[in-house]
Amino acid sequence: MKKELRVTLQAVTPLLLAGAEPQSPELRPPSFRGAFRYWLRAALGGVIGDGDIDGLQKIESAVFGSTECASPISLKTYCTSNKLNFQDTTILPHIERKAVGSRKAFKAGENFDLSMFTGKDNDRIWNAACSALRLALTFGGIGLRSRRGYGTLCICESSDRELVPTFPESFCGWEKYVKETVEFAVKSVKCLCESAGKNILPDPPNGPTKYPCANKMSLIQLCDLKAKTAMDAVKQFMKNVPKDPAFGGIRSRQASRQASPLWVRPIKTNKDEYGLLFCVLASSFKGANYDKISNFLNEKFQGKVVKVKGWNS
């Protein structure tokens, strides 16, 4: 029996997604698969811990494949119009000067469909894949600068609203949606791990963990900025975020890059107003300082903290 989910997605912020040629925007299913895999791994780590990396990779591969085994989950993208429009987009929207680099990106407001399907009649794998899709599109985005609000997508329509509901358009709606999305993810990966014979932790790890995953230091926070547009909300964050190793970035002396543990995405909190949704996956790295991140958010973007059993409590 074939299982299929089809969602209509709208770009809330410019979508910096391309293939081999960075200046040629391209809808690429592998980019979606990579994002879904990341968030599935984050949920798995909160359920079985980060001590058995090999075991975790086997469970992850059972859903999204590996170099040794094909994935039972397939992804396809479809344009709902003849073509998607794109434009030159600065990658540092808070800095108004010509010297700032820019890339071609799919414009905010563009719609397209994403289809996910499998030929396997396995509810555990299917639910885990759907939960990964929900986590990825709820907390992050797709493509370049997705940790900083670019590539944010809105689920406008869904062929299965029970498994993957459409996005809310109010602050209270987002609080409920986030909690239900995380609860569904925890339940789904627990079932998947139990079927693989893995021991389930009574509580998520204390954190910070070896790699980014759900743990007791993993913060979820919503802030209602009442910004006029989604990009205005992103700009407010970018203007305030400090240049500090705790927030990731490029270290020129070592010429190394550290991905930020803080994910930021704009959310619609009212008819014509936007806020921000923050998600911290606390892992160990040189320069990590989660007190700094927490203090920064409480000072600049104080809002509603969300606690979910099995994820961060």
Among residues of the chain, what percentage have pLDDT more than 90?
78
Q: What is the pLDDT of residue 251?
A: 60
Instruction: Kindly report, residue by residue over 163-175, the tens digit of the pLDDT.
Output: 999 999 999 999 9
Peptide bond into 93 cis (omega under 30): no
- What is the average per-residue pLDDT within 93-117? 82
- What is the average per-residue pLDDT within 23-45? 93
Q: Is the separation of the CB atoms in 162 and 64 below 8 Å?
A: no
Q: What is the pLDDT of residue 257?
A: 79
On the question of pLDDT at 123 being above 70, the answer is yes
Q: What is the pLDDT of residue 93?
A: 76
Q: What are phi and psi for residue 224, nearest 5 degrees?
A: -95, 95
Q: Is the separation of the CB atoms in 313 and 264 below 8 Å?
A: no
Residue 43 half-sphere exposure, CB side, CA atoms within 13 Å? 33
pTM of the model as a whole = 0.94
On the question of pLDDT at 191 being above 90, the answer is yes
Instruction: Kindly report, residue by residue over 231-277, the tens digit of the pLDDT.
Output: 999 999 999 999 999 999 866 555 577 899 999 999 999 989 999 99
On the question of pLDDT at 142 being above 80, the answer is yes
CA–CA gap between residue 304 and residue 224 (Å, rounded)? 9
On the question of pLDDT at 37 being above 70, the answer is yes
Q: What's 24-93 look like in SS3?
A: CECCCHHHHHHHHHHHHHHHHHHHHCCCCHHHHHHHHHHHHCCCCCCCCEEEEEEECCCCCCEEEEECCC
Residue 60 falls in which region: left (phi positive, over 0), alpha (psi -120 to 50) or beta: alpha
Among residues of the chain, what percentage have pLDDT more than 70?
95
Q: What is the pLDDT of residue 111?
A: 95
